[in-house]
């Protein structure tokens, strides 16, 4: 026996000796050191247990893993989480009560499994970690990449707000670079119920990291049949048939300001039309992906098939993607027509060849600069649990002020105090509900950007104006606050004397577009002292006058629009934390942090509310919402906002909006006022956008001239005006429902605006649907985004039934239908088993309490809803001062149970009434919050069960 046991004992000791130096158990996880790391590969991998469903993975090629504190994460781990380890062959496995995470001791590859052993997420076989050394501003860093396996059936979402119109990012690539209308949140959510939070602040690419190639890498033929190039014809719009010049070109690359110097000498772009013609062919064949950035008008045809038709304002180009299948060696006719409209318009066209077999069913995060690979794996049984995991890491989303959930009116811009007051007077006179009016930029004197002072010539009594908004018109006031300062003004000098300004634009004498042009720069938001000073200025000049909320514009930071990426980095370099290359995407996060912390310290009982053009992971903890930037006033742009907003919500960010109507307009709408057919299109565009906006988390109209108030868009007796007022009033009747969603967002990690994948993930038909969404648990919203459309095709998700909100008619799910969409309505459906509370008619959210709530109960399935209430303006909810009332409908017994009220808060209604209206398959009921039908129940906080049987 001894002879037989001895070899086993020796083998065991040998195994312990081999792996003893590799595995170190820490108080919160494991550290694995690889014996033979490959060049450019990983040397150490650390697993840190955050919760039983969240594991942080860090990896480094160095002898130690950097411990630099995270900017996005606030969680450090729960010491109470129980976990065990197991070593087996060439891997070590960490196990919690919900999952396992295994590290291969040879490659460093990490695999996450559920407790049944099913793979949830797997790094690329072999590890997939790449570290490339780089020196940035004398700081040694790495270019980082982590590759993951991605099964063919998987769907991927999140990553912030992007403008390519894509919903599902499987087999796509996404540029994570802050830009006007692009907001970066490096959080990926999978249909397999996991998320990856990539903790890196530099420019990052998700997906296929191969660089896009110039068109010259395809086989080109010009319009005369000569190989090797396309024909570029530079003509003038005001001289049809006249050619300014022609060139043979192999690339189209006017991406940034310096590139415009390569235009033909003397060519007047603002009067021009440029056409590229010829043929393209592929040496390999397959599906080619074409990527453009463009402004002005661009149209592209392949074999006479229109592939792209788009317009954007010259100074703000946007991205576009389209694909086309190319047979090997076959020539395809190509024509591109570009009308720049401006001497500062931009276009670039590149392509990406078909995905090679080695990259299929894989995806990756690739970042320019970082000290280590650092990501959080988040697991959940449902999408909401995954998103709540993101907020566990990065902070809860605060409950925004109740008034912020009402209607906001904005324009670019209210130029005088009289403009502001007269606008609010008109809303109140016409009895159009509104809660917030917004002051855009240039309320200061022309040469004092950054003073934070109102120009007294145009705003002689700014405090009195705001007091009137509060006390007479019961409205709130949001104001634009840029982090920008003109050289030489007093506030500039306050920052400059402490070296808290970026100086590149000052040294280069860059002038902006105001008046004669003024030299300016931004403050360094990465410096705590600078953030504090910025808040002090806002407090002294604006908050003291009664400003309620902050519109933080240009926080990419956009020091100079259309600068090259390298120059953008120089314009914000160095930061107080280090090279701008390393921290490029996080300016908005730190800027919002300063405002939030400053106001909470100064006035702790008033809720902070921030709207910001750029975003980053963690901003929700600073009471910050985001809008989709300076987008175009076009129907196709409206269509792109829908998936942009849904993916933003799937990124863990609950509060989002757009400029209803789009920000900047085509000449046909403002040179001069729109007339005839253009006027009709303008009104319909705004109406359709308004209908959609009423069901966004935030309901906000804004844009350049023409003015955006409903009464300035269409006359009172028009269908367009009536529709806008209808949806505004409907939004206010839904306020008990909407504010309950806000309460659930803070307390339970909910998301109000929901991609269909969140609630119907077992229905694979919804994976690519980006033009429909759930608003809360009950309402299926189907925006209309095509001019003159009076119906639209939509999908009713499976495994439930659906009621038309307007007439109560029932339809089974699991199929596509064509729904009516007259100009005044968009299709709205209610999921069977829903309970929707409607409150009283309101002109503003605080006008009256919901002492009588009309409950619509949509039968056909069990249903539940929780009514949430608090004071709406302060942070007492953080101290437990709020109430909830649960409603539970049983389909089997046909009963509704109104639960005992839980909790309380100052000013809470002790007694109220509920009018209960039942909607059944066989008994359709039109939605009417003023209905006198149904069953009236008096409620004093005690549980009641009501029979709903006929």
- Above 60 in pLDDT, residue 21? no
Active site annotation includes 35? no
Give the whole-angstrom CA distance, residue 359 versus residue 279.
Answer: 29
3-state helix, strand, coil in the chain (%, to 5): 25, 35, 45
- Tell me how far the alpha carbon of residue 204 is from its chain's centroid: 16
| Nearest CA among 619, 662, 626, 663 for reference residue 647 | 626
Residue 891 in any domain: the answer is yes
Segment 110-147, tens digit of pLDDT? 999 999 999 999 999 988 999 999 999 999 999 999 99
Q: Is the dihedral of CA 904, 899, 916, 835 positive or negative?
A: positive
What are the DSSP E strand ranges found in 859-942?
Answer: 863-869, 882-890, 895-898, 902-904, 912-919, 935-939
Are residues 155 and 240 located together in one domain of the fold?
no
Query: Does the annotation count 553 as an active-site position?
Result: yes
**What is the token pair recorded at 658?**
């757009």
Task: State the catalytic residue, choosing from 222, 277, 556, 759.
Answer: 556
Q: Which of 553, 720, 763, 870 is catalytic?
A: 553
CA distance 142 to 386: 29
- Asked, for residue 489, whether it belongs to a domain, the answer is no
With tokens 């000052």, the residue in question is 506
Q: Mean pLDDT over residues 371-379, rounded?
A: 99
Q: Is the pLDDT of residue 453 over 90?
A: yes
**pLDDT tens digits, 276-308:** 999 999 999 999 999 999 999 999 999 999 999
- The DSSP 8-state label assigned to residue 574 in this structure reads S
Cβ atoms of residues 799 and 762 within 8 Å: yes
40 pLDDT band (50/70/90 cuts)?
A: confident
Residue 544 lies in a domain: yes
849 Cβ contact partners less than 8 Å away, ≥ 6 residues apart: 909
Mean pLDDT throughout 895-905? 99
Q: Identify the residue whose tokens are 């014996």.
A: 35
Judged against a pLDDT cut of 80, whether residue 17 lies above it is answered with no
Within this chain, do residues 867 and 910 fall inside the same structural domain, yes or no? Answer: yes
789's tokens: 């459309």
pLDDT band at 5 (very low <50, low <70, confident <90, very high): very low
Rg (CA), the chain: 29
Domain boundary among 690, 719, 750: 750
The verdict on 765 and 797 lying in the same domain is: yes
Domain identity same for 268 and 283? yes
- Annotated active-site residue 605? The verdict is no
CA distance 109 to 124: 7
Note whether 304 and 365 are same-domain residues: no
Name the DSSP class of 501.
Answer: B
804 and 745 part of one domain: no
**Nearest Cα to Cα of residue 768 among 162, 171, 163:** 171
CATH code, 182: 2.60.40.1760
Domain with 795 in it: what CATH number?
Answer: 2.60.40.1180
With H, G, I as helix, E, B as strand and everything else as coil, classify residue 408: strand
Closest C-alpha among 914, 903, 908, 920 to residue 946: 914
Same domain, 570 and 431: yes
Residues 574, 580 contacting (CB under 8 angstroms)? yes
Q: Same structural domain for residues 184 and 219?
A: no
Query: Nearest-CA neighbor of 126 among 149, 143, 142?
Result: 149
Range of the domain at 583: 403-483+527-750
18 band by pLDDT with thresholds 50, 70 and 90: very low
Considering the domain architecture, whether residues 322 and 235 belong to the same structural domain is answered as yes
Q: Which of 355-359, 704-708, 709-713, 806-810 has the lowest mean pLDDT?
A: 355-359
- Domain assignment of residue 490, yes or no: no
Confidence of residue 503 (pLDDT cuts 50, 70, 90): very high
Q: What is the dihedral of CA 572, 573, 574, 579, to 10 degrees?
A: 100
> Is the confidence at residue 38, as pLDDT, over 80?
no
In the block, residue with structure tokens 């999140």: 158
Distance CA 11, CA 358 (A): 39
Q: Per residue, what are the HEC states of 338-384?
A: EECCCCCCCEEEEEECCCCHHHCCEEEEEEEEECCEEEEEEECCCHH
Which tokens is 676 given? 């005839």
> Is the bond leading into 776 cis (omega within 30 degrees of zero)?
no
To 5 degrees, how large is the angle CA 259–CA 262–CA 267?
Answer: 120
At residue 37, the pLDDT reads 78
User: Rounded to an integer, what distance in angstroms lies between the CA atom of residue 913 and that of residue 919?
Assistant: 19
Please report the pLDDT score of residue 455 as a whole number.
99
**765 shares a domain with 676:** no
Which token pair is 683? 């009104």
> Is 693 part of any domain?
yes
- What CATH number does the domain containing 267 carry? 2.60.120.380
Q: Would you tell me how many other CB atoms lie within 10 Å of the CB of residue 304?
A: 7
- Other C-beta atoms lying within 10 Å of the C-beta of residue 233: 16
Per cent of the chain over pLDDT 70 is 98
The 3-state DSSP class for residue 137 equals coil
Which tokens go with 496?
Answer: 């400059």
Model confidence over 626-668: pLDDT tens digits? Answer: 999 999 999 999 999 999 999 999 999 999 999 999 999 999 9
**Distance, CA of 492 to CA of 483 (rounded, Å):** 11
Q: Where are the alpha helices (DSSP H) in 450-586?
A: 462-471, 490-496, 504-507, 528-541, 565-571, 580-583
- Percent residues over pLDDT 90 in the chain: 95
pLDDT at 357 over 50: yes
To the nearest whole number, what is the mean pLDDT of the chain? Answer: 96
Is pLDDT above 90 for 76? no
If one counts the domains in the chain, the total is 4
Q: Which are the contacts of 767, defined by CB distance < 8 A and separation ≥ 6?
A: 155, 168, 191, 757
The pLDDT confidence band at residue 3, using thresholds 50, 70 and 90, is very low
For the stretch 774-814, pLDDT in tens is: 999 999 999 999 999 999 999 999 999 999 999 999 999 99
Has residue 468 been placed in a domain?
yes
What's the pLDDT band for 20 if we cut at 50, 70, 90?
very low
Q: Is 553 left (phi over 0), alpha (psi -120 to 50) or beta?
A: beta
Cα(512)–Cα(246) distance, integer angstroms:
34
Tell me: do 478 and 535 sit in the same domain: yes
pLDDT at position 79 is 87
State the chain's maximal CA–CA distance in angstroms.
Answer: 103
Q: Is the pLDDT of residue 726 over 90?
A: yes
DSSP codes, 34-93: -SSPPTTS-SEEEEEEEETTEEEEEEESSSS---PPPSS------TT---EEEEETTEEE
pLDDT by residue (tens digit) across 831-841? 999 999 999 99
Please state, in angstroms and rounded to a whole number, the distance separating the CA atoms of residues 426 and 444: 25
Neighbouring C-alpha atoms within 13 Å toward the C-beta of 486? 20
**Are 383 and 412 in a shared domain?**
no
CA distance linking residue 240 with residue 731, whole number of Å = 51
* Residue 518 within any structural domain of the chain: no
The active-site residue out of 630, 666, 804, 920 is: 630
pLDDT(13) > 60: no
Residue 224 lies in a domain: yes
CATH code (residue 433): 3.20.20.80
């Amino acid at each position: 026996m001894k002879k037989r046991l001895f070899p086993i004992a020796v083998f065991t000791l040998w195994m312990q000796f081999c792996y003893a130096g590799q595995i170190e158990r820490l108080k919160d996880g494991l550290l694995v050191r690889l014996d033979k790391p490959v060049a450019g590969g990983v040397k150490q991998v650390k697993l840190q247990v955050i919760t039983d469903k969240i594991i942080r993975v860090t990896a480094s090629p160095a002898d130690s893993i950097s411990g630099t504190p995270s900017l996005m994460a606030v969680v450090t781990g729960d010491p109470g989480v129980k976990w065990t380890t197991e070593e087996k062959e060439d891997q070590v496995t960490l196990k919690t009560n919900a999952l396992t995470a295994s590290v291969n001791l040879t490659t460093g590859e990490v695999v996450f499994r559920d407790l049944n052993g099913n793979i949830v997420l797997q790094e690329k076989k072999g590890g997939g970690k790449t570290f490339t050394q780089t020196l940035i501003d004398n700081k040694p860093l790495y270019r980082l990449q982590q590759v993951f396996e991605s099964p063919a059936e998987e769907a991927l979402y999140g990553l912030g707000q992007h403008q390519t119109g894509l919903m599902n990012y499987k087999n796509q690539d996404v540029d994570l670079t802050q830009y006007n209308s692009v907001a970066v949140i490096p959080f990926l959510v999978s249909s397999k119920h996991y998320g990856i939070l990539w903790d890196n602040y530099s420019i990052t690419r998700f997906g296929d990291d191969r660089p896009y190639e110039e068109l010259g890498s395809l086989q080109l033929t010009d319009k005369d049949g000569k190989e090797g190039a396309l024909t570029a014809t530079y003509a003038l719009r005001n001289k049809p048939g006249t050619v300014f010049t022609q060139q043979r070109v192999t690339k189209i690359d006017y991406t940034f300001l310096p590139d415009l110097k390569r235009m033909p000498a003397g060519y007047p772009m603002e009067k021009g039309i440029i056409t590229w013609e010829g043929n393209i062919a592929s040496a390999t064949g397959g599906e080619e992906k074409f990527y453009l950035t463009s402004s002005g008008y661009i149209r592209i045809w392949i074999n006479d098939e229109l592939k792209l038709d788009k317009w954007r304002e010259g100074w703000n180009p946007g991205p576009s993607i389209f694909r086309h299948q190319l047979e090997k060696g076959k020539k395809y006719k190509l024509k591109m027509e570009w009308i720049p409209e401006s001497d500062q318009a931009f276009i670039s066209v590149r392509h990406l060849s078909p995905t090679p077999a080695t990259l299929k069913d894989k995806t990756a995060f690739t970042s320019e600069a970082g000290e280590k690979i650092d990501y959080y794996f988040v697991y959940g049984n449902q999408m909401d649990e995954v998103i709540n995991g993101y907020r566990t890491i990065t902070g809860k989303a605060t409950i925004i002020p109740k008034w912020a959930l009402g209607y906001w009116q904005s324009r670019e811009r209210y130029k005088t105090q009289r403009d502001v007051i007269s606008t609010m007077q008109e809303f109140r006179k016409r009895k159009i509900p509104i809660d917030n009016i917004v002051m855009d930029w240039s309320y200061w004197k022309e040469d004092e950007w950054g003073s934070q002072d109102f120009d007294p010539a145009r705003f002689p009594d700014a405090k009195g104006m705001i007091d009137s908004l509060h006390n007479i018109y019961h409205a709130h006031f949001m104001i634009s606050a840029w982090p920008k300062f003109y050289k030489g003004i007093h506030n500039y000098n306050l920052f400059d004397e402490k070296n808290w300004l970026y100086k590149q634009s000052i040294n280069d004498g860059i002038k902006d577009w105001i008046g004669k042009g003024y030299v300016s720069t931004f403050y360094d938001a990465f410096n705590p002292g600078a953030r504090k000073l910025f808040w002090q200025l806002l407090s002294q000049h604006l908050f003291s006058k009664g400003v309620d909320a902050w519109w933080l514009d240009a926080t990419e930071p956009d020091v100079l629009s259309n600068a090259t990426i390298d120059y953008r980095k120089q314009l914000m370099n160095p930061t107080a934390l280090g090279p701008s290359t390393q921290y490029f995407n996080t300016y908005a996060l730190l800027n919002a942090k300063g405002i939030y912390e400053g106001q909470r310290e100064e006035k702790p009982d008033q809720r902070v509310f921030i709207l910001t053009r750029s975003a980053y992971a963690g901003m929700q903890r600073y009471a910050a919402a985001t809008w989709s930037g300076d987008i175009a006033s076009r129907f196709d742009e409206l269509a792109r906002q829908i998936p942009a907003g849904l993916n933003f919500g799937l990124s863990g960010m609950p509060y989002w909006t757009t400029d209803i109507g789009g920000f900047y307009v085509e000449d046909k709408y403002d040179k001069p006022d729109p007339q005839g057919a253009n006027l009709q299109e303008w009104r319909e565009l705004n109406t359709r956008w308004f209908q959609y906006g009423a069901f966004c988390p935030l309901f906000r109209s804004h844009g350049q001239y023409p003015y955006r108030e409903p009464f300035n868009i269409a006359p009172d007796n028009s269908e367009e005006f009536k529709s806008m007022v209808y949806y505004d009033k409907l939004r206010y009747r839904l306020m008990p429902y909407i504010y309950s969603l806000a309460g659930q967002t803070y307390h339970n990690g909910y998301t109000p605006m929901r991609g269909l994948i969140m609630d119907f993930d077992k229905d694979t038909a919804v994976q690519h649907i980006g033009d429909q969404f759930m608003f809360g648990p009950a309402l299926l919203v189907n925006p209309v985004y095509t001019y003159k459309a009076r119906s639209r095709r939509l999908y009713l998700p499976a495994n439930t039934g659906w009621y038309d909100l307007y007439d109560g008619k029932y339809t089974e799910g699991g199929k596509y239908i064509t729904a009516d969409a007259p100009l005044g309505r968009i299709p709205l459906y209610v999921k069977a088993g829903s309970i929707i509370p409607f409150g009283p008619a309101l002109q503003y959210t605080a006008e009256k309490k919901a002492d009588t709530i009309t409950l619509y109960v949509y039968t056909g399935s069990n249903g539940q809803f929780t009514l949430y209430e608090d004071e709406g303006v302060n942070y007492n909810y953080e101290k437990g001062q709020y109430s909830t009332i649960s409603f539970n409908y049983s389909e089997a017994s046909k009963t509704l149970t109104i639960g005992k009220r839980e909790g309380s808060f100052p000013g809470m209604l002790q007694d109220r009434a509920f009018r209960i209206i039942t909607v059944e398959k066989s008994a359709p009921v039109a939605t009417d919050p003023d209905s006198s039908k149904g069953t009236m129940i008096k409620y004093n906080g005690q549980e009641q069960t009501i029979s709903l049987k006929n």
